[in-house]
Amino acid sequence: MTLLFQLLVNGLIVGALYGVVAMSFVLIYKASRIVNFAQGEFLLIGAWTCWWLLTSWQLPFWIGFPITLVFMLAFGVILQIVVLRPMIGEPIISVIMVTIGLSIVFQAAMKWMFGVFAKPFPPIFASPTVNLFGLEVQTVYVMSLVISILIMAGFGWFFKYSRTGLAMRATAFDQQVAQSLGISVRHMFAMSWAISAMVSAVAGVTVGVVNGVSSALSFFGIKVFPAVILGGLDSVIGAVVGGLIVGVLENMAHYLDSQWLNWGNMYEIAPFYVLIAILMIKPYGLFGTKDIERV
């Protein structure tokens, strides 16, 4: 029971990270109807940037981490303006292929710049673990949980009360109506990519601190995809719920596998079983909007 409770807590913490990255996924999709297959590379670039600042420039984490977030914010804007803005009006499949191409380019660039082997972050916290309700939890996971909750609350306030957030919601609902109201759709697209890149960097740094930084970190973006589909591609709340469910499901699958099944890979593949089941039973997800088309 102690192991089960430990895995449940770990699942909720990792699930919160999944939820944050899934929100970034949904943010881009809601604004521009693009499925960004380079989302995992945003995590990778953010993690490598923070690692480089901490190791090459010897900056403390509390300085290097905010600089990383500012860099990723600018990176997202530049990427949208230079690469994706010229694709406005093109078929969606063409834009999706561009994001796949970006994923390959970013992967190759990171390997060329930093190598192919995992590199650990320098020690960040005085104590690597903290005691939570009698359980030993890594300090960075506690930090990530706090940051994830703050980001989720920030998303809620941003989209409900801020002028930019309301403008982004209007753009996601109907671009032509938003333009008629004086909203710059291009600015909203750039803003969505910037926020997505910055928020993904938070997850990238957290996972990098725990496991080291390597190209395998980009697989995190693929693992988030079942959470997005589960919650609904166009639902921010669904992204959070889907992330939490997938995080807990992974760890429960690990518990079942280690105690009884002994298959050895349930932790990795369980979310994709859920992905297939959801697509078969409820293709729009738990909170997704069902489109009705006349033919």
Residues 88-124 have pLDDT tens digits of 778 888 989 999 999 999 999 999 999 999 999 998 8
A 10 A CB-CB count for 155 gives 22
- Of 257-261, 268-272, 291-295, the poorest mean pLDDT is in 291-295
Domains of the chain, earliest start first: 1-281 (1.10.3470)
Amino acid, res. 212: G
Could you give the CA distance from residue 203 to residue 128 in angstroms, rounded to a whole number?
A: 18
Instruction: Report percent pLDDT > 90 for the chain.
Output: 43
Could you give the CA distance from residue 238 to residue 228 in angstroms, rounded to a whole number?
A: 7
Could you give the CA distance from residue 80 to residue 196 in angstroms, rounded to a whole number?
A: 11
Contact 287, 238 (CB under 8 A): yes
Confidence tier at 294 by pLDDT (50, 70, 90): low
A 10 A CB-CB count for 69 gives 17
Backbone angles phi, psi at 135, to 5 degrees: -110, 145
Amino acid, res. 292: I
Q: Tell me the pLDDT tens digit for each residue of 218-244.
A: 988 888 988 998 998 888 899 999 999
Q: What is the pLDDT of residue 293?
A: 59
**Nearest C-alpha neighbor of 69 from the set 165, 187, 192, 205:** 205
User: Above 60 in pLDDT, residue 295?
Assistant: no
Give strand ranges (E) for the chain: 129-132, 135-138
Q: Tell me the pLDDT tens digit for each residue of 120-153.
A: 999 888 888 888 777 778 888 888 888 889 988 9
Could you give the CA distance from residue 153 to residue 173 in angstroms, rounded to a whole number?
A: 22
Contact 186, 28 (CB under 8 A): no
- More confident of the two residues 33 and 120: 120
Confidence tier at 292 by pLDDT (50, 70, 90): low
Q: What is the pLDDT of residue 158?
A: 87
pTM: 0.90
Q: In the 8-state DSSP scheme, what is residue 234?
A: T
What value does the mean pLDDT take over residues 62-86?
Answer: 95
User: Above 70 in pLDDT, residue 82?
Assistant: yes
Could you give the CA distance from residue 234 to residue 33 in angstroms, rounded to a whole number?
A: 9
Contact 239, 228 (CB under 8 A): yes
Confidence tier at 66 by pLDDT (50, 70, 90): very high
**Nearest C-alpha neighbor of 132 from the set 8, 251, 258:** 8
Could you give the CA distance from residue 180 to residue 167 in angstroms, rounded to a whole number?
A: 12
Residue whose pair of structure tokens reads 């489109």 in the numeric block: 291
Contact 13, 129 (CB under 8 A): no
Could you give the CA distance from residue 25 to residue 37 in angstroms, rounded to a whole number?
A: 9
What value does the mean pLDDT take over residues 272-289?
Answer: 84
User: Longest C-alpha distance within the chain, in Å?
Assistant: 63
- Of 10-24, 99-113, 261-275, the poorest mean pLDDT is in 261-275
User: Above 80 in pLDDT, residue 6?
Assistant: yes
Contact 285, 242 (CB under 8 A): yes
